[in-house]
Structure 1
Amino acid sequence: MTPMKKTSMTLTQILRTIILAIVFLSLTCLLYIGFKQDDQLTYKYQNLYFSLGLGALLAGLATLLLTVHVNEASPQPKKWWFYPLLSALLGLGCMTLAYAYLGVWPLGERSVMIVDMHHQYAPLLAQLRDMLLHGGSPLYSFEVGLGASFLPLFGYYLSSPFNLILALFPESMLNEAILVITLLKNALTAGFFALCVQYIYRRRDISVMIVSILYSMMMYLLAYSWNIMWLDCVMVLPLIIMSFEKLMRTGKYLPYVLTLAYALYANYYIAFMLCIFMVFYFLCF
């Protein structure tokens, strides 16, 4: 009986792989033909990048739905990390596709450095990178006018721990470093929201992933992604809500204190709004 079971499993895996390949190739061909006529995709190979990425994403979703349908007869509960991890990966893929469609470098000629990011945030991030690699006081800087306290600038613009990633990139790749930080925050936003939904609603199914992607791809995040210091609070909000629910249910307050403290540290401007939101959340609990 055991060899038959192994053979059956192998055939099932082969079938899923074939279906995935067929769906991927079909979608990519259709998308490439359609997007080739799109005036927005003007950068060299941009329509190919976008078609390949979107084709892979849709094919992966189709395979996932097929897998869920096949396993409905004998459902097995997924591990607690399965849907949050999948949501994070899909969030990363969706945001990358959005940037590819908009032509953001390296998938186009545009840059993430727009509006205040170009004129204000990028120079500060470059200075922070210089401090991390070559030393310098975070309390006072002579690079600001004739010299000024650097601590207020650090507290509002630069305090996110994700900015440590800047040290991994050369100075000439500051644009790419900011893009990586933005994509990473967006991916974690989807993953953390999935954790929150799983805890509050006690369910582990594909609906968790769907609502997580909707949260991470909301227009606020897309339109204001250049305000990179605001993204931390949007990212950690699901963890704050989950920790608050745990506090009210079990009396364990430490997770709530830590997550809210992180939001206040990362960006007190948005965190102040989160605190007001949590007051209303408590009143409605």
Structure 2
Amino acid sequence: MPELPEVETVCRGLQPAMENAKIVKAEVRRKDLRFAFQKDFVHRLEGQTVTGLGRRAKYLMADLGSGDVLVMHLGMSGSFRVVSDGNANMPGQFHHPRAEDRAHDHVLFHMSSGALIVFNDPRRFGYMKIVARGAIEEDPLLKGLGPEPLGNEFDADMLARSCANKKTSLKATLLDQRVVAGLGNIYVCEALFRARLSPRRLAATLSTKKGETTDHARRLVEAIHAVLNQAIKAGGSSLRDHRQTTGELGYFQHSFQVYDREGEKCQTKGCGGIVRRFTQNGRSTFWCPKCQK
């Protein structure tokens, strides 16, 4: 599933075509994706200006002039394609390639900017819904989400407090969207590796018995920030023909240090360990048992 950097890259790639433009026409080519579309979905979109496009956790959120918000999730295989002047660009490149089969073009937005925004989703785990801005915090999809990992609220002290007395593993806790929003399997593996912390370590060890923040928490937050910022930056500079003046981001690219590198030598200087994989809470976990403690 696309994670925070991929979604942020898609968001920035869509902004030039969608922000301050009117949705002249909306096409929905099936009655549902993961969930059924609202009966008035098209009616509430057509004629509305997108006043802003942002991200919350792994959700894309388009503010509309009506006061509604179009909430969009990429699911497992969803992607957006921007068609303008006959040329198509797909903002965001993922670990697993996105599909290009036009039979899976399920939602189309014809924008007053002249751009055609196409949502393609072969597995149909993505979804879209319209929520009133005033009710956004109470919506079942968004209610209870934790702080943004790149926001001012998220720091070592906050993470230590959230993990205090938890009997779950550190990795499982970081994947809990109520603790921190937007982190997924890939970047949790990568951040734990950079922080030299075992995915099996108890989350409670980020604070002392007296409730004090440990160095483990500080190292982990620093690693989360570094990994996410590096990934987002790569999304903006990876295309050879990237044109900064358009605001359009290139395809997202990043190199993993442990994820999907089972059997390879650890990249930590002087470690000499081998990257291993094991199943943890139903997900593949990649780590170096020698340097992650």
> Greater helix percent: which structure?
1
TM-score in same-fold range (> 0.5): no
* TM-score (ref. length: structure 1): 0.27
TM-score by length of 2: 0.27
